[in-house]
Structure 1
């Protein structure tokens, strides 16, 4: 990379930014400087808004100031030094608008503002954009959702527990806990490792009956977001939660959409990109790598994606962000922002262990102008008796496979899980990453740690014969199942797997998780209202899996696993149909796969040579 001119940095701490309702938020302003004085003239500005304490991002604030930007890092409402009450996401659209208007009008700003940041700091970029603030010129959202209900706190109607744990984590550093450390310690105990798994297994919680009750504002947020608004109602359609419903209000600005295949949010980032392209918004760029949450390392989980799996062609992600801002905030047409689409296709490695003990799965970058690429062939692979998965349609009239789902013995999340536990206990919200599909320790009596998940009687396995030619997929994946149950509600969870053949390093093979998805059956007809299942009645359901790009090699098998739980990524469905009921019941769940009720996974085949 070429060397850019750099400056000294001067910081103005704890600058007050007034909001329309009289609340004052607080920010640090980083100025490029020479000879001990801020540069004269007006500069483009970059903004990061965070709930994680603005001082924690001094390196980022200084980096952009060093390269000629007025760089601002702000504490979100109710967090650390900013005033007001913290309620996750609700107030960020208005606060983002007011902050951008204030910043664009700052004496040192030329009126152009860019935003950047990961996770919550990506949410707030979407929030601000819903209000179309004057001055917002570009955003770089990486690994954040465009809709809280469909992609974050819920997925397929099931409770995704990552944000619930996140609420606990933010309560630990709340203003209340800073004033009384005993509060933070009590919530820390609740949210730590095994304790959180125990609490999660007791969902639904009751107000006043958890340690979170000693932080009432955070308890209120947790209950409104998780235990009191199960259906997709007007509560969820606020711009703080349903940003995608306001896409047409977004300013027409360049957006760099960034995510990892093993992050929380590949489907939402790619859906957001595709929706903006459909709205004919120009300069929509997409970057997808083989990464977990806020991590750009090619060593991901138990897998090595090779030297190509990092931020390719850039020193690091900050360097890419700088190039992006130089292009759109400084009008530098020589800035290296790459092709509009850069997506990592996983697979093609040797399948042996590397010197760190990881599977060599490898992969390569796809460069293009649009995603998914042209030439994709959506191809059904049908479920057959005897666990066969094939492109051929079923020929037998009526076949089915039944299993018993016991909420007291859940299948463990392994692969994409954002909840730090098991081998990811020290990884925090970086997530687990892809791993061989074995049961992991969650709760006593749940599975047999170390045993293949596929060996469980409550997991149905369907797989192809060993492939005689390579199969490459790239894009959106869905599963169409015919299902029935003796219970009014249950979950159907599907995982797509690239099954390696046995070798010396992996004597039983290696089950590489490619993608997954879930549907809570009572939401099979829509999210606005739930409908119980009639016992024994067959329903056709559709499950959206996370998009992916993977090369299935010769002698590998394409496999799907079907079950009714994935804990602790998702809450435990107790099969009663009442989300507030702590009672449980067994469920006899059936997958139909005959000629009259054909079930299949539809894979986005991307022919080799395309």
Structure 2
């Protein structure tokens, strides 16, 4: 990377001080316990080697890609950095099986780093997304522990993000498989064309059946990770156990700094991790902005938080004294500084589904009123309800007008009265839906929207839940009470706007369609229509719980 490019990057990320000089030593060989050799690059001060604290970055995205951006950025701030290519990527030996080898390989690497004459034994880790997950694969088990972590837009475990509510997150995984399966074959030209060309190919691939063969349509060759993902969709936690690090002892964890966004696919689980760390006695802080995964507008915050956190925990700098939680309230254009998560001043408020497609902010209906007839629709796996917006890896992401989807026969909507004043929502969101299907199978997708005075319906938050016969508690009349945690939010519903709850049986291809036949997702090629009844009223009080924040 040239000095001019580095100065431009520093300026874009908000760094104004003169950069420190550094040298880069390439292709250091790091042996791990099974004999595989992983390659790494060391960024250090020029001149004689001296033992210094070290920042470890473990990445599958290349030492000349994201790795060099992080390594050189930190080296220019005076940090010593080792950037390593994970197993099976960019020259490192072995086969890349995402998530499955990161704990043993990472711990072996940590021991190796601490044995080098240029390391004084203090090691921190940094990096976003998968690079952040490699930190979680080490930190709970390291002895002695890490000095600190910057784990951004990531989480301690795999399954709740990629199989949310039991429904495989199809399109996001396809986006990542498309990237990871091609990244070492892309040229400057094919990389430029990747978004329009491969975007169309990706959507065709995830719509094809059976899904177990979609990897060839995506990348032109079989991808082991895709096969793992679809083959183990029915019991994901069992297969992905090596990638699950959520059983950590918070008191033994290093200081952890996090950045995420309300539209990031990891935000749900990342806030669970943060809460567990904070309540368990760890030093932790988090910033939640109006961003999606990899949002360019988030990069300066990620970089500034990373440099500041490392400065405190590796170089003995002073902290900035900010609150443990800094959360952006969308459409209010303000940041809220909070002592903890969930916000302590938030008041949960129940909004009830009611007859006539209404949403009531007080109660499910007058006491003693007769049972309301259920609302019904039919889901067809051959024409699944499409997705629009939300926490996606690639556009369209964030908020979009939902009116076209809400006009479909397989979507129910319940709309509240116009707000008399601004209503700030900040915290956890949940839903309780009483539902019956004619087969006991099906998916329940719940989305909360902001309806503006012009009638546009803008998604705020949502969640999916997959019904599995025998796993759900079902009443004698076949009714299942579906309890769902929607993604948390920070959002202002402005005066004159209305809340809307949307209920459907799919959000395709964001989530894999439910075939309704009980077949394994990987091999299914046929489908069965499912008839839904959504119940509400005093006997079946379907509702959402929103975090009203003063």
In structure 2, the partner of 1:51 is 60
Q: Which runs of 5+ in 2 are unaligned?
A: 1-13
In structure 1, the partner of 2:430 is 478
Q: Distance in 1 between matches of 2:64 and 2:236?
A: 37
Range that drifts further, 161-170 or 401-410? 161-170
Match 1:329 to one of 290, 306, 314: 314
1:50 Cα deviation (Å)? 0.9
Match 1:558 to one of 489, 499, 513: 499
1:41 Cα deviation (Å)? 3.3
Q: Distance in 1 between matches of 2:16 and 2:215?
A: 57
Q: Quickly say closer, same or farther: Cα 1:560–1:92, change in 2 above 3 A.
A: same
**Superposition RMSD in Å:** 2.8
In structure 2, the partner of 1:413 is 387
| TM-score, normalisation: structure 1 | 0.80
In structure 2, the partner of 1:155 is 164
Q: Distance in 1 between matches of 2:438 and 2:143?
A: 52
In structure 2, the partner of 1:358 is none
Is residue 2:466 matched to residue 1:520?
yes
Is residue 2:106 matched to residue 1:104?
no
Is residue 2:99 matched to residue 1:89?
yes
Match 2:452 to one of 489, 500, 506: 500
Range that drifts further, 460-469 or 127-136? 127-136
Deviations 1:334-390 (A, max 9, x none): x43732111101123xxxxxxxxxxxxxx2100122122212222211100011111
Asked whether the 8 Å contact 1:118–1:144 carries over to 2, the reply is yes
Deviations 1:176-214 (A, max 9, x none): x69xx9xx99xx899922322222123443469945797
Deviations 1:156-175 (A, max 9, x none): 0001021243224322235x
Q: Distance in 2 between matches of 1:553 and 1:206?
A: 45
1:492 Cα deviation (Å)? 0.7
Q: Quickly say closer, same or farther: Cα 1:103–1:271, change in 2 above 3 A.
A: same
**Matched ranges for 1:453-492 at <5 A:** 453-492=405-444
**Matched ranges for 1:3-402 at <5 A:** 6-33=19-46, 37=47, 41-56=50-65, 57-151=67-161, 153-161=162-170, 162-173=172-183, 192-206=198-212, 210-211=216-217, 215=221, 218-219=223-224, 221-238=225-242, 241-245=243-247, 247-248=248-249, 251-281=252-282, 283-297=283-297, 316-333=301-318, 335-336=319-320, 338-348=322-332, 363-390=333-360, 391-395=362-366, 396-399=369-372, 400-402=374-376
Q: Quickly say closer, same or farther: Cα 1:249–1:131, change in 2 above 3 A.
A: farther
Q: Distance in 2 between matches of 1:82 and 1:58?
A: 16
In structure 1, the partner of 2:7 is none
Q: Distance in 2 between matches of 1:536 and 1:203?
A: 34
In structure 1, the partner of 2:9 is none
Q: Quickly say closer, same or farther: Cα 1:209–1:473, change in 2 above 3 A.
A: closer
Deviations 1:413-461 (A, max 9, x none): 22225254xxx2xxxxxx62222225xxxxxxxxxxxxx2221121111
Asked whether the 8 Å contact 2:251–2:281 carries over to 1, the reply is no
1:123 Cα deviation (Å)? 1.1
Deviations 1:76-120 (A, max 9, x none): 000111001110110001111111222233212222111111111
Q: Distance in 2 between matches of 1:2 and 1:200?
A: 42
Q: Quickly say closer, same or farther: Cα 1:214–1:556, change in 2 above 3 A.
A: closer
Asked whether the 8 Å contact 2:445–2:507 carries over to 1, the reply is yes
Q: Distance in 2 between matches of 1:553 and 1:385?
A: 25
Q: Distance in 2 between matches of 1:288 and 1:214?
A: 37
1:275 Cα deviation (Å)? 1.3
- Aligned to 2:116, what secondary structure does the other structure show? coil
Is residue 2:457 matched to residue 1:511?
yes
Asked whether the 8 Å contact 1:44–1:70 carries over to 2, the reply is yes
- Aligned to 1:497, what secondary structure does the other structure show? strand
Q: Distance in 1 between matches of 2:467 and 2:393?
A: 24
Matched pairs, number: 525
Q: Distance in 2 between matches of 1:415 and 1:316?
A: 24
Q: Quickly say closer, same or farther: Cα 1:250–1:101, change in 2 above 3 A.
A: farther
Q: Distance in 1 between matches of 2:118 and 2:425?
A: 49
Q: Quickly say closer, same or farther: Cα 1:97–1:543, change in 2 above 3 A.
A: same
Asked whether the 8 Å contact 1:417–1:432 carries over to 2, the reply is yes
1:250 Cα deviation (Å)? 7.9
Q: Quickly say closer, same or farther: Cα 1:419–1:576, change in 2 above 3 A.
A: farther
1:487 Cα deviation (Å)? 2.5
Q: Distance in 1 between matches of 2:461 and 2:433?
A: 17
Deviations 1:298-349 (A, max 9, x none): xxxxxxxxxxxx67xxx6532321111001111212x43732111101123x
Asked whether the 8 Å contact 1:344–1:364 carries over to 2, the reply is yes
- Aligned to 1:244, what secondary structure does the other structure show? coil
In structure 1, the partner of 2:401 is 436
Asked whether the 8 Å contact 2:250–2:277 carries over to 1, the reply is no
1:215 Cα deviation (Å)? 4.7
Q: Distance in 1 between matches of 2:178 and 2:17?
A: 42
| TM-score, normalisation: structure 2 | 0.89
1:535 Cα deviation (Å)? 11
1:412 Cα deviation (Å)? 2.2
Asked whether the 8 Å contact 2:429–2:486 carries over to 1, the reply is yes
- Aligned to 2:120, what secondary structure does the other structure show? strand
1:136 Cα deviation (Å)? 1.3
Q: Distance in 1 between matches of 2:286 and 2:215?
A: 44
